[in-house]
Amino acid sequence: MTQRLRTSSILAVLLFLLVFLSLGAGSPVLTCRFTVMVDPGHGGKDPGAIGIDGVYEKKINLAIAQMVYLKSLDHPELRVILARRGDEYIYPTDRIKEANRIGADLYVSIHANAYSNASVSGAETLVHETEGQGSQSYRLAETLQQRLISQTGAKDRGIKWAPLFIRRAKMPAALVEVGFITHRLEARLLQSLSYQSKIADAILDAILEFLYKPLV
Ligand SMILES: [Zn+2]
């Protein structure tokens, strides 16, 4: 009896070690640690800004967000969820509600800018107007802005405060304005796959940097 008990407890320890070690080895199902909602701004009946040659902001936002999603598949610890997957209209507040419902760790909204003066260009990142400089959302915005500028070479328009729908997000949230579709050169870049890919890399790198920095 004692012998049998000893054998079964040794087996239990071995089983525990096996499970423990397999977790450490990185089973893809169990290593998904972060959920990030990436929001391609506008969509459907809402084209967003309309730029040079009639280009729609919503198309550029979606193309970049889809690239962020595809590139995120290389990072099994990250689960990227798109707030819209096609050309559909979803109320901004409903996008935030969904992010809150699924308990997302971060919310990044992707937009392209427009201005009446066609010489204005560059990238900027927005946070809700009540976010202080030490807040998590502001830190997320800083990381996004730094990566965008260093990895695309766009003009740095800095971080800005505005009254935004992302104020209802229960997680750090920021909105990137990746460039101006009213600026001839930038509009052309924003429609090119290579530049969209650079922006997507910058956004994904910023997300990973932000998520991992507090853990280091
Ligand atoms: Zn927009």
CA–centroid distance, 90 to ligand 1, in Å, is 13
What is the residue range of 19's domain?
Answer: 1-31
CA 27 to chain centre: 24
- pTM, two decimals, is 0.85
The CATH number covering residue 96 comes to 3.40.630.40
Q: How far is the CA of 27 from the centre of ligand 1 (A)?
A: 38
Residue among 168, 149, 191 nearest 52 (CA): 191
Q: Which residue has the higher pLDDT, 17 or 61?
A: 61
Strand order in the sheet with 106-113: 78-82, 34-40, 106-113, 173-180, 123-128, 156-162
Q: Distance between CA 136 and CA 197 in Å, rounded?
A: 26
Q: Band of the pLDDT at 23, cuts 50, 70, 90? A: low
> Which region among 19-23, 123-127, 136-140 has the lowest average model confidence (pLDDT)?
19-23
Return phi, psi of residue 157, to 5°: -95, 5
Could you tell me the distance, in angstroms and rounded to a whole number, from the CA of residue 77 to the centre of ligand 1? 29
CA-to-CA separations, 3 to 9, 12, 13, 15, 131, in angstroms, rounded: 10, 14, 15, 18, 64
36 and 71 co-located in one domain: yes
Higher-pLDDT residue of 15 and 190 is 190
Q: Is the distance from CB of 200 to CB of 67 less than 8 angstroms?
A: yes
Q: How many domains does the chain have?
A: 2
Q: What is the pLDDT of residue 28?
A: 46
Residues 176 and 94 in one domain: yes
Question: Ligand 1 centroid vs 134 CA: distance in angstroms?
Answer: 26
Three-state secondary structure string covering 90-143: CCHHHHHHHHHHHCCCEEEEEEEECCCCCCCCCEEEEEECCCCCCCHHHHHHHH
Residues 12 and 80 in one domain: no
Q: Same structural domain for residues 49 and 90? A: yes
**Tokens describing residue 203:** 């956004």
Give the Cα separation of 28 and 50 in Å (integer).
41
Task: Tell me how far the alpha carbon of residue 116 lies from the centroid of ligand 1, in angstroms.
Answer: 15
